[in-house]
């Protein structure tokens, strides 16, 4: 066991971090490629004010997710899964459910060393299948969709809520107390939002506070319950 731990900590994870940084930084560089082409090939150069305005507009809507998503997803995805997921995208509706499902199927503890390896395998397979399905979809997408009844096409918009509902149910079954607490936090927070209690937040209606409170609230209470259980076991 010690030998396996040494391989995991001294070889596997350092190698993952090395290549994860390289591939993600390469992905960042490639993301700016269209901008560079528009600037230096086509001569399209917006003013600094326009760029700053656009950045602030996006940051005001999405900035909170830059912090919340890595923190909230990391414990399930693990280090390798985090690098792959944030490079490939579709985290909440594909990579996260795959990571949870594979760890549950393999009967390993979520967030453990074994869970991290299993999660990486599942996410890697999902990326490959995703590319294959997208390729087929791009080629045959319009033809296939035209053959599907409109009722089914409309129902596809409920895929993400259904996935999150299934994930929530799975967690409630495995840890009933934590699941109930998380559900109560979400219900109270959403109720506060619709009551207008977050309207004081500048630049919007405070919708992003729902995510922040639910994520960090469940993390805090989860740690408190885990610490309490450990203290009971020690006694």
**Average pLDDT, stretch 15-24?**
94
Residue 139 included in any domain: no
Residue 221 included in any domain: yes
Residue 203 has pLDDT above 60, yes or no: no
Domain holding 222, by residue range, is 175-235
Residue 7 included in any domain: no
Residue 205 included in any domain: yes
Name the residue with tokens 């792959």.
Answer: 84
Residue 210 included in any domain: yes
pLDDT given for residue 204 in this prediction: 62
Whole-number Å distance between alpha carbons of 99 and 61:
27
pLDDT given for residue 176 in this prediction: 76
Residue 83 included in any domain: no
- Which tokens sit at 13? 């994870």
pLDDT over 90 percentage in the chain? 17
- Which tokens sit at 9? 């900590």
DSSP assignment string, 130-152: HHHHHHHHHHHHHHHHHHS-HHH
Residue 99 included in any domain: no
pLDDT given for residue 149 in this prediction: 80
Residue 115 included in any domain: no
Confidence of residue 2 (pLDDT cuts 50, 70, 90): low
pLDDT tens for residues 164-178? 777 777 667 667 777
Name the residue with tokens 């602030």.
Answer: 56
Work out how many domains the chain is built from and give that number. 1
């Amino acid at each position: 066991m010690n030998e396996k731990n040494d391989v995991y900590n001294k070889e596997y994870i350092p190698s993952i971090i090395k290549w994860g940084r390289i591939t993600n930084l390469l992905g960042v560089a490639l993301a700016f490629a269209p901008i560079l082409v528009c600037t230096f090939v086509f001569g399209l150069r917006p003013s600094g004010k326009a760029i700053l305005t656009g950045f602030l507009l996006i940051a005001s809507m999405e900035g909170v997710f830059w912090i919340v998503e890595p923190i909230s997803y990391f414990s399930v995805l693990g280090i390798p899964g985090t690098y792959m997921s944030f490079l490939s995208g579709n985290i909440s509706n594909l990579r996260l459910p795959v990571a949870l499902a594979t760890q549950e199927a393999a009967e390993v503890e979520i967030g453990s060393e074994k869970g991290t390896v299993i999660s990486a395998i599942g996410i890697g397979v999902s990326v490959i299948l995703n590319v294959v399905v997208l390729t087929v979809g791009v080629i045959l997408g319009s033809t296939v969709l035209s053959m599907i009844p409109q009722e089914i096409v409309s129902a596809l918009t409920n895929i993400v809520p259904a996935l999150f509902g299934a994930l929530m149910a799975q967690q409630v079954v495995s840890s009933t107390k934590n699941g109930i607490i998380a559900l109560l936090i979400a219900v109270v927070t959403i109720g506060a939002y619709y009551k207008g209690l977050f309207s004081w937040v500048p630049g919007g209606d405070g919708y992003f506070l729902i995510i922040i409170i639910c994520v960090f609230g469940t993390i805090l209470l989860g740690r408190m319950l885990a610490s309490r259980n450990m203290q009971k076991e020690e006694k």
